[in-house]
Structure 1
Amino acid sequence: MTNKTFHVTVPEIDEELAADRLWQLGVEAVGVGQVVDGQVELWTSVGATEESIRRAVERLEPGWAWRTADVVTPVETWREHVGPTWYAKTGVVVPQWQADELDAGPDVLVTLIEPGSSFGLGDHPTTRLSLSTLTDYLADHDASSVLDVGCGSGVLGIVAAQRGVTTVRATDISAGALEATIANAQLNGVNDQIEVDMAELATISGPYDVVVANILAPVLVSLAADLRRLTAVDGVLIISGILGDDHQHVIDALIPMQVERTTIDAGWASIRLTHAH
């Protein structure tokens, strides 16, 4: 499978600004090279489609140079080393190609996922935490609508739909993520319950009973006002993608929302917040 990396070359003085622009795309990591003749190159993965590249370019300042590079990933190598991810006693995410290998029992909700070129097989601690927090909330509360911000492969929205949420909206800046979410919703028979798009958060109307955002801290901070706005007065915001011992700045950005519950796993955190009453 061929993916692309996105490279930006900027003056050394713009390194921090360029890194922030890349983080705001919802990427998983940003690499930074050595300074050469006053210039520094940064790189990340934003997806391989023309649309995802275009969105990345739109974030750049005039004069910043950019390029893409092909990265060949041996698909079978990583597929051989993944397996089912249990996020609750009643829930497991299973790679689509292992669908016939697991007998989970009649009381377990099985979600099949084919990640495609997106992020989100369910095995990363932040995804597992988000799934567990979402499942616990839905078990105790009636929720008719869920917004999944940065949906990746769609696993969070799909589990919400499987657990009875009738209206789910999944958004992502990556066209590859949208393709994967649509395919996985069909795979799990909940495509009629999920709307998938690349809408900017500021353009979305709410509110939603549950807003889930499993994205990195800089992006959560930049989206804080819209995350608050889109969470219903009696609803809940679930965030992850943040470090267990370094996330207070994210909480501060979401004030006046209040932390209701924090769960830590493998150095990562999932936090449930509600509006102050």
Structure 2
Amino acid sequence: MDMKKQIAEGKGFIAALDQSGGSTPKALRGYGVEDHEWSGDDEMFGKIHEMRSRIITSPCFSNGKVIGAILFEKTMDGKVDGKTTPQALIDRGIVPFIKIDKGLEDEGFGGFGGVQLMKPMPDLDALLKRAKGLGVFGTKERSVINEANAEGIAAIVKQQFEIGMQVLRHGLVPMLEPEYSIKAQGRAEGEKILKDEILKLLPTVPEGEQIMLKLSIPVEANLYAELIEHPKVLAVVALSGGYSTEEACEKLAKNKGMIASFSRGLLQDLRAQQSDDEFDGTLSAAIDQIHAASVA
């Protein structure tokens, strides 16, 4: 599989299976696994890995509509069908990515208002080397914008590109995710600032290299067309950002060339208690819906 070509030209979307420690209990509760059913981090991550394995091994997951999947570090290091998770994905024609950020600083950290920068990643080089050795294609790193603060947005984008350059040096493709909160006031104005800041730094991407962008679905449809068409951008993907599957798909379909990278939108109706047929049918319906919006 030519993974770069698949992401650039594939008619599908990227599944986000990267809930980390802080968001895992909520994800498990949504899946129908209550807090009393596990004890400690090992059991918690075991439960979430069971869910992800069930998704990855579902026949509908490898029907060509899911072109990539973002993994949490522990999922990357785990096994599916007796293989490393990245290899299990590759064998199904799905490009593996790894979430690398370690969570968010408090808003206002560093003197930048209205944004949450990424926490330090002191072991990032070792993680990137391990991911590359496991066949991972790219990374994803998230920070959050909560208001249209030009200085804060510039700081967010600068940090994203700095981490992105480190990822590129390891032969991986970074997916920069400066998420714009869908609850933020003045989002339309702030998203234009965000686009301009990204355009300022795209020329710093080394010749022959490309990055990816994971952005909130913009208030103004097709706002990111210039980014989608930029030669330094391999793909622009959309996060669901708290929208329901229906809302996210409706909004995404209005943005030409932007494909989905949904978590909640993909997983919201899956339950541990479902039979295999019920689980596969529910997952298949979500995949079909998200795929249709991505290729609209």
How does the TM-score come out when normalised to structure 2?
0.29
Which structure has the highest strand share of the two? 1
How does the TM-score come out when normalised to structure 1?
0.31
Which structure has the highest helix share of the two? 2
Taking CA–CA contacts closer than 8 Å with sequence separation of 6 or more, which of the two structures ends up with the larger relative contact order? 2
